[in-house]
Structure 1
């Protein structure tokens, strides 16, 4: 079935097995719920929204999408505010131009592609793939495999038991305060973006921190420091060395801090101002 929506409306569905939404501007919230799946459209400006539901696949996009993109570029009048409730095990794919997104409680694969919009993830688990150009990504309580990519947007992650965290930016800052699952991996790469990581003092990991021009600071005295003409490095083993933590930057500063074992992961001030 297919609906064209140009004013506030609520649509309910018998079942949803996957969600794919494309939004130019405005906001989209995806909430895990045990209730009947629904789409709540609070506001539409510019091209109408087209909502489709076929074989359990729920799709949301703008009518005449590329015409809408051109309209937004000229006038910034192509936006909508959407709230979607789906089962927590529903895979989610969001493609956003300038819209903001909030995703909470999902447990299946979550994939986000965003230009300038900010993305918030709360209590999302499973495989997470979030990419922005200039929008910020903020997340808390993530578990599983996490991939963050941004050009100039900041990435901030608080809490969660991470199996794999792969984070890449050009100039965006990366800050993560997480627990490392046994054998977990953290791999961070930036050009000029600063990196601040906090892990439990009891974590086990092989550590390799490298920066060509930025300074490297750590609260782990067991790590060795080496400075050469073209690079600075801090390397060594923490605990049983079962995991891996690597950071590579060109000119960004790096801070690796320890957290007492009885303290929960959360927001922190890495004190990395130059």
Structure 2
């Protein structure tokens, strides 16, 4: 069942925290919330500002559902946001935690590090970056997850980190899930020379990935390691893009569409296991299409 993008909950005992507005440059806002049912809102206008926001449930045995919501708005360039939402450990039924993060960054050279999980009942992320040379580092685990990412600009990156939190530049965002719930990633790109990818590892569940691109010279590697998956990549009027879909599960579908005058692009689909479908549609000149199924 598809998880909703936004999760809004109001409770009599909810803790609501507003960090307020920070104007000017080189400001730092730190929010640390522990307990249950948190909401945090941080707005910064100016350059070189930093947000450090952590929401956590420290009582892992009370069985109470913990709902977390983080909203961050940063305007101008050189800003950084670090958001960590931590849930309850392995509880089932009404004791599951949920998390929702909504981040808007407008300007150049901005950075977002968002981690959700582990052990959420469900979690979602809605991320918008408008500008050039921005970076999103996203990691989520467990629970049914959904991430919506929008880039408008050039040389932006959606990358992943390793277990030590180090950025692996140009590699893929990781979405892991051992619960069997469906995971979703939707990425929209309007610009050139961006590095966009996704690594979905759902075990016995299903993954869905959609990437829509208007632009050129974008690098788009994707991977799904779920029981079954669906990858849909579309490019409109772009050239010299590299698009790759790898799927290892059964009954998976991969579709790459090069529409309009899309020239000089490379489209690759690799599928292993059984019952898979691969489709590459090309409209343009000097494009290369490769499909491997085994």
- The alignment's TM-score, normalised by the length of structure 1, stands at 0.55
Find the residue that maps to 1:105 and give its secondary structure.
Answer: strand
Deviation sequence 1:208-241 (CA, Å, 0-9, x none): xxxxxxxxxxxxxxxxxxxxxxxxxxxxxxxxxx
Matches within 5 A, 1:1-274: 1=18, 2-4=20-22, 6-13=26-33, 14-15=38-39, 16-17=68-69, 19=71, 21=73, 25-26=77-78, 33-34=85-86, 61=105, 79-86=109-116, 89-98=123-132, 99-105=134-140, 107-116=145-154, 117-120=156-159, 121-123=173-175, 125-134=183-192, 135-141=194-200, 143-152=207-216, 153-161=218-226, 162-168=229-235, 170-171=238-239, 172-179=241-248, 182=251, 184-189=253-258, 191-192=262-263, 193-200=265-272, 202-205=274-277, 245-250=279-284, 251-259=286-294
1:203 is paired with a residue whose SS is coil
Give 1:183 shift: 6.4
CA RMSD in angstroms, aligned pairs only:
3.5
**Separation of aligned partners in 1, 2:290 and 2:138:** 29
Distance 1:150 1:11 in 2: 37
Give the Å deviation of 1:182: 3.0
Mapped contact 1:111–1:129 kept (Cα < 8 A): yes
SS at match of 2:197: strand
1:119-155 deviation digits (Å, cap 9, x = unpaired): 1221173142231411121222262142231411121
Q: In structure 1, what is the Cα distance between the partners aligned to 2:293 and 2:101?
A: 44
- Structure 1 position 255, deviation (Å): 0.9
Q: TM-score, normalised by structure 2?
A: 0.52
Distance in 2 between the 1:136 and 1:57 partners?
Answer: 22
The question of whether the paired residues in 1 share the 8 Å contact of 2:103 and 2:128 is answered with no
Instruction: Note the residue ranges of structure 2 that are not aligned, 5 or more in a row.
Output: 1-17, 40-67, 89-99, 160-172, 177-182, 202-206
Cα gap change, 1:20/1:158 in structure 2, threshold over 3 Å: closer, same or farther? same
Structure 1 unaligned residues grouped into runs of 5+: 37-55, 63-68, 70-77, 206-243, 260-274
SS of the residue aligned with 2:123? coil
Kept in 1, the 8 Å contact 2:197–2:220? The answer is: yes
Number of equivalences: 188
Name the structure, 1 or 2, with higher relative contact order (CA <8 Å, separation 6+): 1
Distance 2:195 2:139 in 1: 17
